[in-house]
Structure 1
Amino acid sequence: MIDAWEPRPVPTVTPETEPFWSAAADGRFLVRECPDCGLVYHYPSALCPDCFADAEWREATGAATVYSFAIHRHLEFWPDDDLPAVFAYVELEEGPRVITNVVGCPAEDVEVGMAVDARFVPTATDDVAVPVFVPADD
């Protein structure tokens, strides 16, 4: 886990997404994998978006690559101490792309193709954590 501003907004947890948030609170990033067509995807929907089969949870490595990003220097809803904020699409090693934040380095150091690893920011609720990504250790 890494420190973050408080209170961090708590995502809405549904029965369908609860395993994802619970795993994140334990420091694990889950994705869904379709046993019929093999698609690995994220957002944690129970049905495969390609063939509508019942998908299964799978633990991802947490390794990813920055696919695209934007640096935000002024956000009314974001704590000043955490600006500039880097919002990014990262491509997980397993294939899916995830919208997230890149933290743990100067915003100017983030670049497309950069290797990053998942970390988890606690929220006000012990059983929910939010994934963010940090530069990968070389």
Structure 2
Amino acid sequence: MTTSDTCSKPTPVRDPETDEFFDAARRGRLLLRYCRHCSHYALRPGKHCPECLSPLTWVSGSGLAQVWTWTRIHHAAHPGFAADVPYVLVTARMAEGPLLTLRLIDDDGGNGDIEVGTPLQVDFIEHPDADPTPVFRRAADD
């Protein structure tokens, strides 16, 4: 048995329930699950609203958010991320209301200045053999 010196990063797995999300991600658009009955956004998988059990639908999200909390990762949880440490994971409040946790990719190797309230924008990292991965970037100053 041989082993490789490098390990690839895990990438998203597409299934029929997430096809629409990943099709939009390939076009650089963020989709969110939304309940038209009670106006609740659901970021976890599922076909029904966790609040009222009505059917969920995909809607376009703005991609805009603000840092709610964050942490700097110093020990990779998966060997594929070992070369990336330190890096920052951010939980941000989306403009639509729900909290979303993603990697902050423009944080100067984990040494950048980040604080609660920092404006963010969702972006997508392309992969050669997999669907794009959503990440946060700092929002451009207007």
Q: Give the TM-score taking structure 1 as reference length.
A: 0.85
Distance 1:115 1:25 in 2: 23
Calculate percent identity across the aligned residue pairs: 30
**Higher deviation after alignment, 63-72 or 107-116:** 107-116
- Partner secondary structure for residue 94 of structure 1: coil
What runs of 5+ residues in structure 2 fail to find an aligned partner?
1-6
- Partner secondary structure for residue 109 of structure 1: coil
Pair member with larger Rg: 2
Could you say which residue in structure 1 is the equivalent of 2:48? 47
Which residue, 101, 121, 125 being the options, matches 1:121? 125
Distance 2:129 2:98 in 1: 27
Q: 1:87/1:47 Cα in 2 relative to 1: closer, same or farther (>3 Å)?
A: same
Residues 1:19 and 2:23 are matched in the alignment? no
Distance 2:44 2:102 in 1: 12
Aligned pair count reads 131
Contact 2:88 2:107 in 1 (8 A): no
Distance 1:32 1:50 in 2: 13
Contact 1:87 1:101 in 2 (8 A): yes
Distance 1:51 1:132 in 2: 29
Runs of 4+ in 1 over 4 A off after TM superposition: none
Which residue, 117, 129, 133 being the options, matches 1:130? 133
What runs of 5+ residues in structure 1 fail to find an aligned partner?
1-5
Could you say which residue in structure 2 is the equivalent of 1:103? 105
Between 1 and 2, higher relative CO (CA 8 Å, sep ≥ 6) is seen in 1
